[in-house]
Chains A and B, each alone.
Chain A
Amino acid sequence: MSVLDRAESRPGVARTRAEEEHRKTLLLDPRPQEELNTMVLEAMQRTGREYWVVVGVLAVLALGGFLGAWLYMILTGVGVTGLSRPNYWGIFIASFIFWIGISHAGTFISAILRIFGAEYRRPITRAAEMMTTTSLLVAASFLGIHVGRVWVSYWIVPYPNQRGLWPNYHSPFLWDEMAIITYLVGSTLYLYLPLIPDLAMARDRLAGWRGKLYRAMALGWTGTESQWHHLNLAIKVFSVVIIPVMFSVHTIVSWDLAMTKAIGWRSSIFAPYFIVGAVYSGLSAAITVLIIARSSMKLHYFIREEHINALARLVLIFSFTWTYFFFADFLTEWYGGDAAGHTLITLQTVGQMAPFWWTMLFFNIVVPWLTLWNGRIRRSPIALLLITIGINIGMYLERYIIVTGFLRRNHTPFNWGDYAPSVVEIAIIGGSLCTFLLLYALLSRLVPLIPVWEVREGQLTHGLRRVGRATVPTVAELEE
């Protein structure tokens, strides 16, 4: 429980000290508003030579790997991958699931923590929401990369046409497409709404092309009472509405697999298992991004060790939950599965998938369980950077094992076959990572990465007021 609750029982000095600590996580050492604004605006314009070198390298890799290798595959055929007859789906679908998983962090941090009133969310929501939007774009592109004829893939969209054809609503793939489009639109709007006051703040302080851009994007925000009222109402509604959409996305992604007759895939536990895995890897990625953004953009005032600590606690909880689901899924297959299911288990534990399988367990269970219980490790940015990158390697391997491992064996042994990604596939996968980083790097210099008004709101509502000689909490805090 929080420091405050523990302090409840102990009066006097301890309470004051605990409260002070709590206030530090809420950034309750307020500085003048203009100073906050300047800090965020400076961070946004921090585009030195290093930044452009990084962006340039990422752009080359993204163009070459992502677009170049993909174009080569379009022009020659999907045969340039390592796919073959039993392995019709490969690393592209695994990557698709991975990036969809990353996109869950934004909604989780921003919407769920907002609804539950977790105060530490304030400065980190924007960074997480931006991750949602960019990773969703990368994920959606994998649907196009995967298919054999990308030039006709628009047929999946239900639009009236002269042939009277309509997509098949029985197919989980179509549900998937609907859920992703809904989530992409929803999360982009959800990113945009709380951005408006910050864009207006930037508009008032910057000239040139930025000024023009923010003028258009701020939609004439002046900060009147009625505007604030409408904005708060819209954010409240969106926070509630976006949560079921988030759940629907990874549920349906898991159903892509769970609705089939493939051994190991047909499992009723897949939907919650995938959602927990998605939030687990998404939260870890959020920590990675926050640590990098914090040091590269000098945001130490806003993003503190306490925020990383709070997120790391959540990561540990999700590590426990993920392990529980993994164990339940594995145990039922091992105990009750048929011969074909047992070949799959052998393949994973001691067979050709074993290096991936054990690495996954190491990064997803062993490392977090041994380190994250320790408060000092949770507050150390370097340690957490390594741990969270490890967790995402583990989660990527989990998707790789589930998608490509389970297809290798089936009911008819004549049709067993192995799979290894080809150079083209690896180039596209690497390129997609660079594309994500590139989009994020560009976006981080285009919009304020810290929601200044939300931080300020937190400081005002939880601040202390001096009345005469006494120091009293603000009314908002007493109401809670």
Chain B
Amino acid sequence: MAEDKYRWGMVVDLDLCTGCQACVVACHAENNVPTVGEVETARRRSMHWIRIERYWHGADDELRAEFMPLLCQHCQNAPCEPVCPMYATYHDPNNQLNIQVYNRCAGIRYCGVNCPYKVRHFNWFDPYFPEPLNEQLNPDVTVRRRGIMEKCMFCIQRIRRARDEARARGEPFNTEEVKPACVQTCPTDALVFGNLLEPESEVARLARSPRAFVLLEDLGTEPSLFYLKRGESYVRTG
């Protein structure tokens, strides 16, 4: 239906993130993301669509770790989109999502070079799922072969299924029903997902919070991912 217009977005509350990595595991399971092993990970070839970036603050006694979950920012003005000569990196106008068309990708890796957040991942080799991971592949998601780019798509298979089921039941599509795997799994509810075009959705309310910011705002990429600033003095509302 052409009138279906969404802008899917996510809010990450940095105060609530404990860096437990549950979202990373959930994403691997949901999206058939291969684990590349220790050697390849040490060579910076891990393929976590969502990753927990750890930054150290302070020194010696005051030293503390701070965590920042980083996934595709689903930019509205995405640097990765215009540079792909194949249209494999594509902006979905109905969902305002940044979509990677796997079977259109030739592996030029221009998108990966131009992504300022470095959240696009390349299949350096054919994917390998050791026992028993090969038993749990998600049939809703393709397994990507070597030589192509892949990245977070906000679990678009879940968005589509929820929308189609609502349509089959003849009910209006309740966007609050959709939860990507990482959001569903987060034990502290640090991740909130929803439609930014509905002003009363939780994600839209949080995105208006004075604590909200987007990453590398000066690059003008207009991300759909909002972070809530860390700090003791703030109390999360809503």
Contact = CB atoms under 8 A, between A and B. Distances in A.
- Co-complex (A, B): yes
A165 B147 contact: no
Given A85-B118, A177-B85, A260-B79, A77 B124 contact: yes
B38 to A, nearest CB: 14
Nearest to A167: B85
A427 B70 CA distance: 37
B82 interface: yes
A220 B59 CA distance: 83
Interface string A155-175: 110000000011110111110
Interface stretch (A144-152, A279-287, A355-363): A144-152
Q: Place the interface of chain A in its size category.
A: 35 or more
Contacts of B45: 79, 84-85
B53 A412 contact: yes
Nearest to A155: B86
A173 B118 contact: no
Interface in B89-122: 104-110, 112-114, 116-118, 121-122
A148 B86 contact: no
Contacts of A174: 85
Nearest to B149: A148
A262 B109 CA distance: 14
A147 B40 CA distance: 20
Nearest to A260: B114
A77 B118 CA distance: 21
B219 interface: yes
Nearest to A170: B82
Identify the interface centre among B104, B126, B147: most chain A CB within 10 Å of its CB. B147
Nearest to B113: A88
Contacts of A172: 83
Interface string B7-51: 000000000000000000000000000000000100111100000
Nearest to B108: A147
B87 interface: yes
For the complex of A and B, 3 pairs with smallest distance between CB atoms: A148-B107, A148-B147, A79-B124
22 contacts: A77-B123, A85-B44, A88-B122, A89-B113, A147-B108, A149-B146, A152-B106, A153-B106, A168-B82, A171-B110, A172-B83, A177-B85, A261-B79, A262-B114, A412-B53, A412-B70, A412-B116, A412-B215, A412-B216, A413-B55, A414-B55, A415-B118
Given A84-B45, A261-B79, A415-B118, 9 more contacts: A77-B125, A78-B147, A85-B122, A88-B109, A168-B82, A171-B85, A177-B85, A262-B113, A412-B70
